[in-house]
Amino acid sequence: AEVVGGGDKEVVREYFNNTGFQRWKKIYGDTDDVNRVQMDIRLGHSKTVESTLMMLKDEGSLEGVTVCDAGCGTGSLAIPLAKEGAVVCASDISAAMVAEAEKQAKEQLVSPAVSMPKFVVKDLESLDGKYDTVVCLDVLIHYPQNKADGMIAHLASLANNRLILSFAPKTFYYDLLKRIGELFPGPSKATRAYLHSEADVERALQKVGWKIRKRGLITTQFYFAKLVEAVPM
């Protein structure tokens, strides 16, 4: 298995345009050609998307709300958001991911009443503009905390009202599981995963004047994600 090291953005881009694209497209899809671990990750990830939609809708209708989905992958969140009436800008560092998200959106968003998300190939660090809401799911796992701090600060600068982030929590238990996983790397275990402690994420948010308002934890057998919703202090 190849290893993506150092949190290098170029390596991450290359991975998600090639092997990573194939692997994650399958996990995020609905075909049967996944193994038990991938099926479990698919389930965990779908729960994260579901919880995010619930957090977002908690504050009222999404009709006309502008949302930036940073690191949109194959559009798992951007597409249901568009169905809710949100005005979505979905971007990803990987051109392959963006093309797949756009293809799926065209297939799934057939009603003329629904406005298509705007799809852009861009790393989140180069995004600009202002959105009511910024969401970034399962992206920080590819970057160490020293890079993640800057990414969190930049994402917060794009948001007027709220920022929703998910990350793999650095807890003793998960650390242990990860270490065990590293002893037995499977053939599809292709990226290096960086864990983040909730305190570190909270500190990064506080530094730029944001506080956590809601927290969630999504776990299945092989998928762990902490979900936080932050708002300006």
The Cβ of residue 80 has, within 10 Å, a number of other Cβ atoms equal to 19
Residue among 82, 90, 137, 227 that touches ligand SAM (CB under 6 A): 137
Could you tell me which of 22, 129, 110, 2 has the C-alpha nearest to residue 73?
Answer: 22
Residues 171-190 within binding reach of ligand SAM (CB under 6 A): none
Taking each helix axis from N to C end, the angle separating 198-207 and 145-158, rounded to the nearest 10 degrees, works out to: 50
For the bound state, the minimum distance from the C-beta of residue 161 to ligand SAM, rounded and expressed in Å, comes to 20
**Partners of residue 229 on adjacent β-strands:** 164, 214
Which lies closer to ligand SAM via its Cβ, residue 112 or residue 129? 129
The reply on whether position 16 binds ligand SAM by CB under 6 A is yes
The reply on whether position 65 binds ligand SAM by CB under 6 A is no
First-last CA distance in the chain = 44
Residue among 65, 68, 86, 93 that touches ligand SAM (CB under 6 A): 93
Amino acid at 89: C
For the bound state, the minimum distance from the C-beta of residue 233 to ligand SAM, rounded and expressed in Å, comes to 26
Candidates 73-81, 112-120, 156-164, 207-215; binding stretch for ligand SAM (CB under 6 A): 73-81
Question: And the tokens for 15?
Answer: 């991975």
The reply on whether position 97 binds ligand SAM by CB under 6 A is yes
The reply on whether position 82 binds ligand SAM by CB under 6 A is no
* Helix runs in the chain, H state only: 9-17, 19-28, 36-58, 78-83, 95-108, 145-158, 172-183, 198-207
The reply on whether position 56 binds ligand SAM by CB under 6 A is no
CB 61 within 8 A of CB 55: no
Where on the chain is the footprint of ligand SAM (CB under 6 A)? 9, 12, 16, 24, 28, 70-73, 76-77, 92-94, 97, 123-124, 137-139, 142
